[in-house]
Structure 1
Amino acid sequence: MKDAKPIPPQQMLDWCAKFKALAAKTRHAPLRKYYQAGVVAAQTPIDQVQFLAMDVETTGLNAQTHSIVSIGLMPFTLKRIQCGQARYWVLKPTSELSEKSVTFHHITHTEILNAPTFQEVLNPLLDAMEGKVIVVHYRNIERAFLGQATLRLLKEGLEFPVIDTMQLEARIHRQKLGWFARLMRRSQASIRLADSRARYNLPAYHAHHALTDALATAELLQAQIATLHCPSTPVGTLWN
């Protein structure tokens, strides 16, 4: 199944135009610099795109009341993962670590004691994101938490194009399952990161470390594109 249901050009999100509009109205120099750097056009073939896999670990699941505790970044293309340019930060969260969150991501109170704040890593984070299409597994976490953290700091959110490997996997399995099976409420395959990777024979990694999960997400997108799409597929058919 190669690009079974392509998105018409008129339905692709125009992030180029959006970035120009955001650059014109932002009041903050770091955000202006990020938006002015721009992003590739929606029609750009995916094999010509610079990606940045991203994962954030948090103190909970509600971006309004919880906060980021670590960020992992892994730049890559469809041909190469650039491990030497990876970035990883443990942050001092604005909300308390709970016993449940420590069990989940294994970041302890001792590790965050002298950790930088989100404000201290925002500029290098934006520098790493410049000109790249962000890749995540479940965009509601990264978008919501980065947007809320920037809003708290600057009174202005952060917007960026995202390819969601979880969404791509869900799209695949909806097509495979078919309307009759959905009507009969047959269970769908798990689209969690580890389970999705296993279907492409990718190795199992220890979960919930931001940098490891960023690497895992980069590898998953490479496998999804190699298996299910063509190198000439416009990036705008995959991003949100």
Structure 2
Amino acid sequence: MNAPGLSPGQWLAALKRKWMLYHLGDPRFSFMWDAPPENEWVALDCETTGLNVRTDDIIAIGAVRIRGNRIMTSERLELLVRPEKRRLSADSVRVHRLREQDVAQGLNADDAMMQLMRFIGSRPLVGYYLEFDLAMINRVLFPMLGMGLPQPRIEVSALYYDHKFRQLPQHAQHSGAVDLRFDVLMKDLGLPLWPAHDALNDAVMAALAFLKLRALK
């Protein structure tokens, strides 16, 4: 039976929150299930030693808060993370320009997650192909919390796809062909494209795209 004054959806959400908090491995982070601040988000990006979510490691995290239609660059998080499983290959160094000596003095993964969770709070997450970043983050978090990040997530490439799909003539919509490459997306939206594979740069660019697409919608 639903609690008085709650819709079925609200009642299920409250029940899920109660269940998650009961099983939370570290009660210090129960604030992640609080109601989020109104019109606030966190744009997030990770750099990694590779693309295998089971064997590669996070080496950098960039995040920035969004409030209303503003990117709060004064409220940002930049972390270097010391890899625990994999050494940096020559290919990965060419991609993100971080060397072994750059990350050797970084935080261990657990400490980085502690800072990240406090920075995010309960704000929804924004990113470009965010699923990969969250898979890498959640692999570290599961031993700590017994679960991954609970915040809602907003995928910039999905917002862009919906935006472009609405512009297609009806006869072309069956193919659904939309180029989702990040440089194409940013250029099409008239947004600056900064050097890629820098975690904070990528987070800020994802935030710019999110705000532009939100305004266009």
| Alignment-mate amino acid for residue 53 of structure 1 | A
Change (3 A) 1:18 1:134: farther
Instruction: Say if 2:80 and 2:107, in contact at 8 Å, map to a contact too.
Output: yes
CA drift at 1:176: 3.4
Q: Does 1:224 align with 2:213?
A: yes
One of 24, 27, 31 as aligned partner of 1:26 = 24
One of 119, 123, 138 as aligned partner of 1:147 = 138
More contact order relative to length (CA 8 Å, sep ≥ 6): 1
Task: Supply the distance in 1 between the matched residues of 2:159 and 2:8 (Cα, whole angstroms).
Answer: 20
Task: Supply the distance in 1 between the matched residues of 2:209 and 2:156 (Cα, whole angstroms).
Answer: 7
CA drift at 1:116: 0.9
Give 1:196's aligned residue.
Answer: 185
Give 2:100's aligned residue.
Answer: 109
CA drift at 1:175: 3.7
| Alignment-mate amino acid for residue 104 of structure 1 | V
Task: Supply the distance in 1 between the matched residues of 2:48 and 2:123 (Cα, whole angstroms).
Answer: 23
Name the SS of the counterpart of 1:83 in structure 2: strand
| Alignment-mate amino acid for residue 188 of structure 2 | R
Give 2:4's aligned residue.
Answer: none
| Alignment-mate amino acid for residue 39 of structure 1 | P
Task: Supply the distance in 2 between the matched residues of 1:34 and 1:207 (Cα, whole angstroms).
Answer: 29
Q: TM-score, normalised by structure 2?
A: 0.85
Structure 2: 5+ residue runs without aligned partners?
1-6
Count matched residues: 209
Give 1:235's aligned residue.
Answer: none
Give 1:91's aligned residue.
Answer: 81
Q: TM-score, normalised by structure 1?
A: 0.77
Task: Supply the distance in 2 between the matched residues of 1:221 and 1:39 (Cα, whole angstroms).
Answer: 18
Instruction: Say if 2:87 and 2:100, in contact at 8 Å, map to a contact too.
Output: no
TM alignment of 1:1-240, pairs within 5 A: 18-35=16-33, 37-39=34-36, 48-94=38-84, 95-153=86-144, 155-177=146-168, 180-181=171-172, 183=174, 188-228=177-217
- CA deviations over 1:29-65 (Å, ceiling 9, x no partner): 3433433x3436xxxxxxx411100001111111111
Change (3 A) 1:11 1:207: farther
- CA deviations over 1:132-169 (Å, ceiling 9, x no partner): 11101112212211111212555543332101101111
Name the SS of the counterpart of 1:149 in structure 2: helix
Task: Supply the distance in 1 between the matched residues of 2:14 and 2:109 (Cα, whole angstroms).
Answer: 27
Change (3 A) 1:125 1:69: same
Runs of at least 4 residues off by over 6 Å: 9-12
- CA deviations over 1:183-208 (Å, ceiling 9, x no partner): 5x58x342122221111211121111
Task: Supply the distance in 2 between the matched residues of 1:17 and 1:109 (Cα, whole angstroms).
Answer: 46
